[in-house]
């Protein structure tokens, strides 16, 4: 039996109102009822925080809405995942960290409602966003199926982000997005490019209009678009990921040729990377878990 994963990307407008988690639970339950064998549902960046869009100062609104990951918002999301008995990525949430830092944090819940992963956005959209920057890349495992990497919106513009989670062994990368401008067309190209150069599935889910630009997209490890919601209209993008395709593409190469993860041999020289004050060590080049 192959490694497959059935995923729904919810291209919805941001939620507003007094009970955003309850509304998200209802949205996920409706998607689940209408989708056969669904295993994971993903919502856009800051999906629960639509009230910030009408605030005089959206950054201040988000700061005031921030909670620690042990707070009531995350507990309620865990209860929703447990009730759904499904993997849930509810987008990202404003997280209150130590020292008053506020992070844009992607959270992941398993079907038992456990918070199994959290990722603080490493590359906030500056100078427009006031988030504190995270500094660690994050992956999580779906037992018996595969490994996922986490990514938030502007992270996709920095090749270091997707490369890092691919190197950590991700078969697919979940990029949750709240892009409101015309640059969504570039982000769709980046989803294909990041898939190609890292030989991973890229899942990029943006919020719908009238706030967001939509354009949610899924690309396979060779960059082929296998799922697309090209407009800003609300919708649900359903895809079945054949995660064994990642293994095949890395073994035989993109289009049967290019095997970037086999580029280095142990006796190659170390490559200095002056921009990072670091280096590529050929003995550490292949993704973790790769043969």
pLDDT digits (tens, 9 = 90+) for 212-253: 999 999 999 999 999 999 999 999 999 999 999 999 999 999
Residue 287 is predicted with a pLDDT of: 86
Q: Which residues pair with 257 in a beta bridge?
A: none
pLDDT for residue 101 is more than 80: yes
Burial class (CB in 10 A: 0-12, 13-18, 19+), 182: exposed
Would you state the pLDDT for residue 36? Answer: 83
Residues 6+ apart with CB under 8 A from 206: 11, 44, 177, 178, 179, 184, 187, 212, 213, 214, 215, 216
**4-258 has CATH 3.60.110.10 classification:** yes
Residue 107 contacts by C-beta under 8 Å, 6 or more apart in sequence? 69, 74, 77, 89, 90, 92, 93, 115, 117, 118
Predicted confidence (pLDDT) per residue in 69-91, tens digit: 999 999 999 999 999 999 999 99
Query: What pTM was computed for the model?
Result: 0.95
pLDDT of res. 1: 62
286 band by pLDDT with thresholds 50, 70 and 90: confident
pLDDT in tens, 271-284: 999 988 888 788 88
% pLDDT > 70, the chain? 99
* pLDDT at res. 144: 93
What residue spans define the domains of the chain? Answer: 4-258, 266-291
pLDDT (tens digit, 9 = 90+) per residue, 118-173?
A: 999 999 999 999 999 999 999 999 999 999 999 999 999 999 999 999 999 999 99
């Amino acid at each position: 039996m192959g490694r497959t994963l059935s995923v729904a990307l919810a291209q919805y407008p941001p939620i507003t109102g007094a009970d955003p988690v309850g509304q998200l639970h209802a949205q996920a339950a409706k998607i689940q009822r209408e989708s056969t064998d669904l295993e994971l549902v993903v919502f856009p960046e800051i999906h629960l925080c639509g009230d910030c869009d009408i605030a005089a100062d959206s950054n201040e609104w988000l700061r005031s809405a921030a909670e620690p990951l042990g707070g009531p918002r995350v507990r309620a999301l865990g209860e929703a995942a447990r009730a759904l008995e499904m993997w849930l990525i509810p987008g990202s949430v404003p997280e209150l960290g130590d020292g008053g830092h506020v992070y844009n944090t992607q959270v992941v819940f398993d079907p038992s409602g456990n918070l199994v992963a959290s990722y603080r956005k490493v590359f906030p959209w500056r100078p427009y966003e006031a988030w504190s920057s995270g500094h660690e890349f994050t992956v999580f495992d779906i037992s018996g199926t595969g490994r996922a990497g986490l990514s938030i919106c502007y992270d996709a513009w920095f090749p270091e982000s997707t490369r890092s989670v691919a190197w950590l062994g991700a078969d697919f990368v979940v990029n949750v997005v709240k892009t409101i401008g015309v640059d969504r067309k570039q982000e769709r190209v980046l989803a294909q490019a990041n898939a190609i150069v890292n030989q991973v599935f890229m899942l990029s889910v943006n919020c719908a209009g009238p706030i967001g630009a939509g354009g949610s997209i899924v690309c396979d490890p060779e960059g082929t678009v296998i799922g697309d919601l090209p407009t800003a209209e609300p919708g649900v993008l359903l895809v079945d990921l054949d995660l064994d395709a990642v293994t095949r593409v890395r073994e035989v190469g993109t289009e049967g040729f290019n095997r970037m993860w086999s580029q280095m041999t142990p006796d190659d020289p170390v490559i200095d990377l002056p921009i990072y004050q670091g280096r590529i060590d050929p003995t550490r080049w292949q993704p973790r878990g790769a043969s």
